[in-house]
Amino acid sequence: MNKQISAQTKTHPAAKFSFNNGSDVDEVSKHKIKLIGTSFTQDRFGNNNHAIFLSGHAESYINLGNFKSLKPKAGTISLWIKIENPVAAGQGIPINPILLTKCDTLDNFYEAYSIHFEPETEKIAVSFTKDSTKQVNHFADTPFRLNKWWHLVIVYDNNFSLFYLDGKLQNKFPKNFETKFLDSDSVLIGSTGNKKNQRFLKADIDDVAFYDVALTNEEVEELFFAPNPNKNKIILNWALVCLIIIVIGTLFYFLIKQRIKLAVTKERLRLELNNKLLETELRVNRASMNPHFLFNSLNALHNLILNNEIDNASDYLVKFSKLIRKILDSNMYESISLELEIELLELYLELENLRFEENIKYTIVRDDSLVLSSIHIPIMMLQPFIENAIWHGLLNKTGEKSITITFSLYEEKYIYCTIEDNGTGRKKTNPGIVEKKSLATGFLMQRLELLNKIHGLKCSMLIEDKPNSTGTIVKIILPILNK
């Protein structure tokens, strides 16, 4: 049998019933079949309307017709089945008929070929009958499970019959007779078509094919692994879905990107406007300090003149004009180099020292690591503290008067400055004077807060009285504003 089967080369079906898309015709001959009490359902691939459902009663079966292509003397029959549950209704031999056609009009031994399910043994069986004297029966070795798709194939000729389940050969028996068919009988699916043995099938049926050749083992296996008929359509649908997702995703991406861009632009404009307002406020604040400084300086000059200290007044006026010139030049910019800031402070201390008749000792200390010319800090931030130290701390003090100013680097982005005097301290200061001191301090605090907002900094200021009213120390952290 193997050699005979292997010698066959024709593998196209003589008749095929795929039931795809609700089809009720033979795809080869285009003959219409009879679907009695059936409905279309999903196939093993999940395609809707690609298989037939039989309800398991006398009025639910398929009549494939009475055609030569369905009754080959030697050939192959292939089909897919999913049995929902065994059917006990009916009479006669307890089987659930899957596929059969008759060889005789008798009530027994009438199956030319038959495939059926035996509920008692839960096995698929195949029968070939010559007459009451000769019948070949096959039973599947593989355990059969309900509600699962199975591929059934029978191959036969005059000499042998073979039965396959899911592409695997279950058994092969000698047949040794020619298969004969009842010319008047059709090929039925789901019904015995016999009064004595009236049985039914409740199952899904799909891809029933008849070959007029005995297929080889390899060809049977190929049938089992046949691909989804809608594979290309599914791929195309998935490709279309993916394309739609990509297009929608791309559209959303650009819309979101555009919205983010607009939001960022709007936020940037808002921040720019806010910064401009803050910078304007900073300039106004700084401008408010200049009259304060000028008033105090002119008042000092006025006192020298009233006291008839003409030489000191002249020296004061020269140094004052020089200081004013440097301040005016520096006011063109937002920051000043630490080197120039120290020069301005020294010049201011010289001016104040004239008033105190060289009695103020001042010292400016800076870290050797500081490159003074390359470090820029906010302009006019330190002079008001030194002015307060001199006018309100040292003015009424007897004995030695001293002030020490130190500069050091702090956290790489800041300059840490301390201004320490040995004056009377704030506690002994006249309340009216304290109010004037708080005015300048308020200006400086506002400037530090504005700098923090504009540049995202953490500048700070702290004023402390030294123990036993021996003076005041100011600690201030200024930002390095290098571009």
Per domain, the residue ranges of the chain are 2-226, 249-479
Q: Do residues 214 and 156 touch, judged by C-beta distance below 8 A?
A: yes
- For the stretch 162-214, pLDDT in tens is 999 999 999 999 999 999 999 999 999 999 988 899 999 999 999 999 999 99
- Please provide the average confidence, as pLDDT, over all residues in the chain: 85
Buried b / exposed e over 262-295, threshold 16 CB at 10 Å, is eeeeeeeeeeeeeeeebeebbeebbeebeeebee
* Residues near 441 by beta carbon (within 8 Å), at least 6 away in sequence: 384, 388, 463
80: closest CA among 167, 184, 174? 167
Buried b / exposed e over 457-467, threshold 16 CB at 10 Å, is bebebeeeeee
Query: Rounded to whole angstroms, how far apart are CA atoms 179 and 175?
Result: 9
Report pTM. Answer: 0.52
Query: Rounded to whole angstroms, how far apart are CA atoms 113 and 117?
Result: 14
Q: Right CATH number for 2-226 from 2.60.120.200, 1.10.10.10, 3.30.390.30, 2.40.70.10?
A: 2.60.120.200
Query: Rounded to whole angstroms, how far apart are CA atoms 391 and 472?
Result: 13
Element (H, E) at 419: strand 414-421
| pLDDT value at residue 425 | 79
What CATH code is assigned to 249-479?
3.30.565.10
87: closest CA among 96, 78, 76, 100? 96
Buried b / exposed e over 137-173, threshold 16 CB at 10 Å, is ebebeeeeeeeeebbbbbbbbeebbbbbbbeeebeee
Token digits for 163? 């039965």
Token digits for 154? 């029978």
Q: Is 70 helix (H, G, I), strand (E, B) or coil?
A: helix
Query: Rounded to whole angstroms, how far apart are CA atoms 85 and 471?
Result: 104
What are the mean pLDDT values of the chain's consecutive 10-residue runs (483 residues total)? 43 94 94 96 94 95 96 96 93 94 91 94 93 90 92 96 94 93 95 92 97 94 89 69 85 86 76 59 52 70 81 82 77 80 88 76 90 87 84 82 93 92 73 52 76 81 85 91 73
**111, β-bridge pairs:** 102
- For the stretch 284-302, pLDDT in tens is 545 554 565 677 678 777 8
Quote the strand ranges of 178-322, DSSP E. Answer: 187-189, 202-211
Element (H, E) at 354: helix 338-355
Query: Rounded to whole angstroms, how far apart are CA atoms 337 and 375?
Result: 5
Query: Rounded to whole angstroms, how far apart are CA atoms 272 and 454?
Result: 10
